[in-house]
Amino acid sequence: MSQGQSDAELRLVTPGMAIGPSAGKRIGSGAVAHDDDIIATKLGWVREFNGTVSVDPINSSYIPRSGDLIVATVAEVRNNLWFMNINGAFQGLLPMSLAPWKVEFGAARQHMGIGDVALARVQEVDECHNVVLTMKGIGLRRLNQGALLTIPVNHIDRIKGKDNSTLERLKSASDCRIIVGQNGKVWVDGDAQGIAWSRAAIEIAQRCGHKETFEAELSAHENNAPNRGEQ
């Protein structure tokens, strides 16, 4: 659900439903023009912003875009490249030249093997869905410890909160490092207690991060946080 819109403005539409006349409007994602109308193509909430009408989908798979920060898992290693599972329809390709290490031809496996998890960025996506990843950049690295969680991509904003406010609260209360990949993979690292608390907190945010009850639920959960005494 989009933020900054009151409940009264929210309108749930289903595919094929006419949202309104198309005259004078730009058409965003989740909608198409048909005759003189704007038609929803997804199940979701209608959003109108700066004259653009779109539908925020309730459910959506991860569609990679260049620049996305993602948490990826190595699926296949070749002499000079890695195929990474990025939680999308297609695997991403990480060439040796975009790895953070100086890799000899044939030595890719020594740096990352199958099942290893890495923080990467989407370098490029072409029309045929070929995805090239990079690990050159600040903070991009192999993730050697911690827990990996999967959330629907449309829940990402709930975990982050406005200007990352929720995410910062989770980090400080749990004393964990938390990275929310734009592909719906969340990395949490800290002690066992912190990870367990974060898991539960992320579930709360997923369930009611968009509701008025969220503040009360999160506050109650914070009272049981590992880091409560230091706040």
Residue ranges that bind another protein, judged by CB under 8 A: 1, 12, 14-18, 30, 32, 34, 39, 41-44, 57-61, 73, 75, 85, 89-91, 113-117, 127-129, 143, 145-148, 154, 187, 192, 195-196, 199, 207, 210-211
Tell me the closest approach of the beta carbon of residue 39 to another protein, in angstroms: 6
Question: Six-digit token pair at 11?
Answer: 């309108």
Tell me the closest approach of the beta carbon of residue 84 to another protein, in angstroms: 10
Nearest to 105, CA basis, from 78, 138, 72, 135 = 78
In three-state secondary structure terms, 167 is helix
Tell me the closest approach of the beta carbon of residue 92 to another protein, in angstroms: 12
Question: Six-digit token pair at 115?
Answer: 């099942």
* Residues 118/84, Cβ–Cβ less than 8 Å: yes
95 versus 146: smaller Cβ distance to another protein: 146
Question: Six-digit token pair at 15?
Answer: 């595919």
Give, for 177, the enclosing helix (H) or strand (E): strand 177-180
9 versus 168: smaller Cβ distance to another protein: 9
* Residues 125/66, Cβ–Cβ less than 8 Å: yes
Tell me the closest approach of the beta carbon of residue 147 to another protein, in angstroms: 5
Question: Six-digit token pair at 137?
Answer: 């950049």
30 versus 226: smaller Cβ distance to another protein: 30
In three-state secondary structure terms, 166 is helix
Q: How far apart are CA 134 and CA 95, in angstroms?
A: 8
Q: How far apart are CA 123 and CA 86, in angstroms?
A: 13
* Residues 133/100, Cβ–Cβ less than 8 Å: no
105 versus 162: smaller Cβ distance to another protein: 162
Tell me the closest approach of the beta carbon of residue 153 to another protein, in angstroms: 9
89 versus 97: smaller Cβ distance to another protein: 89
Tell me the closest approach of the beta carbon of residue 181 to another protein, in angstroms: 13
7 versus 231: smaller Cβ distance to another protein: 7
